[in-house]
Amino acid sequence: MGEMKKASSLADLGADADIGKKIFKKIHHAVPGTPTKRHTKITIVGVGNVGMAIAQTILTQDIAEELALVDTNSDKLQGEQLDLQHAAAFLPRVQIRADTDYAITAQSNLCIITAGARQNPGESRLDLLQRNLNIFRSIVPKLVEKSPGCLLLVVSNPVDVLTYITWKLSGFPPNRVIGSGTNLDSSRFRFMLADYLDVNAQDVQAYMVGEHGDSSVALWSSISVGGVPILSFVTNKSEEFEQQVLENIRKKVVHSAYEVIRLKGYTSWAVGYSVANLARSLLRDQRKIHPVSLLSKGFYGIGDEVEVFLSLPAMLGRSGVLSVAQITLTDEEKKRLQNSAKTLWEIQQQLNI
């Protein structure tokens, strides 16, 4: 028998072979990742509500063969480890280790940081950041020493500045340091649109980008449902009215997290699913697009000297951020992104790093 004929690619059919390079753009100074090994190990630093929600979701989704949990509270660590191990009969086979010593994190493929200080009443944002910087100084170098080839995923808030801090402390190329950013904001956004339109959220394409939190930017022009651009259906009313409705939806997305905190004291499950979703895309080299916090200099008019991490729709794979989708932004959307970058850069320059 002859060789099986290879399925033709679009390039063979006359399509532009460089079209992918026009849609996606590499981030500055990216370095390819290490080859994937079959044994996948994930470390989670911080076993609070968020850290454990991430651990639980990673376990149930069969993403890793080994899970290492690290925290400063040894009793809580041991209790969480035992509680998870007692569920072994109901879960895929995963080795669960827990310790205050970072030695157990060695050879991790992905390290997820959820630890951090909470804001005290009357404390300024800068003072809180300085306290978190000191905490991260005791975490990041140890992770890097034990797993020099790992990806770093920051979940702690304020996520954009803490991802920048992690990048600086790690010495890693920027494609290997990512913040969970607006991945969850975008999921909330898609849920609200899907709920309103009575369709499955997976059929809604919609992104929130920029700074995670109150100043996030909703990309209205890129929203589509089943491939249909949503803005083409709201042009029958005055533009001012449309803008107000859309801004109300954006605000509701932003405040939905505060609503969960008000009602149950903290957010955890949605963050757990969001981060497990990122872990799967990264470690399984899925090349899916997620809005995550990444080094944004040189994108959408943000200056090359402005080293800030903001969320942009990025293709994720085994070496971290593979490239950034070149979505067409309106002038207003670009301006808001650039303003967020400027604010973050001013704060970061005051940090003692």
Which of 127, 156, 179 lies at the terminal end of a domain, its last residue? 179
Catalytic residue list: 212
Whether residue 152 is predicted with pLDDT greater than 80 in this model: the reply is yes
Residues 236 and 126 both lie in one domain: no
pLDDT of residue 25: 82
pLDDT of residue 249: 83
Per the model's pLDDT, the better-predicted residue between 352 and 150 turns out to be: 150
* Count of structural domains within the chain: 2
Of 32-46, 76-90, 248-262, minimum mean pLDDT range:
32-46
Residues 156 and 70 both lie in one domain: yes
The overall pTM is greater than 0.85: yes
List, for residues 99-135, the tens digit of each pLDDT value. 999 999 999 999 999 999 887 888 887 888 999 999 9
Is 2 within a domain? Answer: no
pLDDT of residue 3: 47
Residue ranges of the annotated binding site are 46-51, 71, 132, 155-157
Residues 86 and 169 both lie in one domain: yes
Is 67 within a domain? Answer: yes
Residues 84 and 162 both lie in one domain: yes
Tokens of 25: 């753009």
Is 32 within a domain? Answer: no
Whether residue 4 is predicted with pLDDT greater than 60 in this model: the reply is no
Is 30 within a domain? Answer: no
Is 69 within a domain? Answer: yes
E strands in the chain = 24-25, 41-45, 66-70, 95-99, 110-113, 151-154, 177-179, 204-205, 208-209, 217-218, 224-225, 228-229, 288-295, 309-317, 320-325
**24-25 and 177-179: which strand pairing?**
unpaired
Q: Which domain covers residue 148, as residue numbers?
A: 37-179
Residue ranges of the annotated binding site for NAD(+) are 46-51, 71, 132, 155-157
pLDDT of residue 293: 97
Residues 64 and 141 both lie in one domain: yes
Residues 42 and 119 both lie in one domain: yes
b/e burial code for range 152-188 (CB count within 10 A of at least 16 → b): bbbbbbbbbbbbbbbbbbbebbbbbbbbbbbbbbbbb
Which CATH number belongs to the domain containing residue 136 in this structure? 3.40.50.720
Residue 315 near residue 327 (C-beta atoms within 8 A): no
Which CATH number belongs to the domain containing residue 232 in this structure? 3.90.110.10
